[in-house]
Amino acid sequence: MKTEAERMRARLRMGKDRPWANVTLRLPVDLIDELKEITPMLGWSKYETVIRGYIAQGLAKDLERLWGSQAAALTESLRRQGVADEAIADAVYELGLQRR
């Protein structure tokens, strides 16, 4: 199983080595019009790129919140069981759940 850090690195990889899949979404026309309007203001040429960016930002936020809460719960459980803080910090860092 990949660590969260490995998943994040894979998501950030760009280029031909990253596998892609086509997805069809039904979105309101006015939403697409607004995306097309702001896309050049954000420095992009295609609104699809902006949509991918919004999805990636939302996913990163949720993953951080979910993995962060799980790491905190695990840390507290290990502390209650008498595991030293240094050992917990080493394990959390090794798993890529937190930076030093």
Question: Tens digits of per-residue pLDDT, 48-65?
Answer: 999 999 998 898 888 777
Q: Work out the angle between the directed axes of helices 4-12 and 47-80 (0-180°, nearest 10).
A: 170
Report, in angstroms and rounded to the nearest whole number, the Rg of the chain calculated over CA atoms. 19
Per-residue model confidence (pLDDT) at position 28: 97
Alpha-carbon separation of residue 79 from 74, 92, 97 (angstroms): 9, 13, 17
User: What's the pLDDT at 62?
Assistant: 85
- Backbone phi, then psi, for 18, in 5-degree steps? -95, 125
Residue 93 CA to residue 75 CA, distance in Å, equals 12
Given a cut of 70, the residues of the chain with pLDDT beneath it are 1-16, 97-100
Q: Would you state the pLDDT for residue 13? A: 61
SS3 content of the chain, % helix, strand, coil (to 5): 65, 0, 35
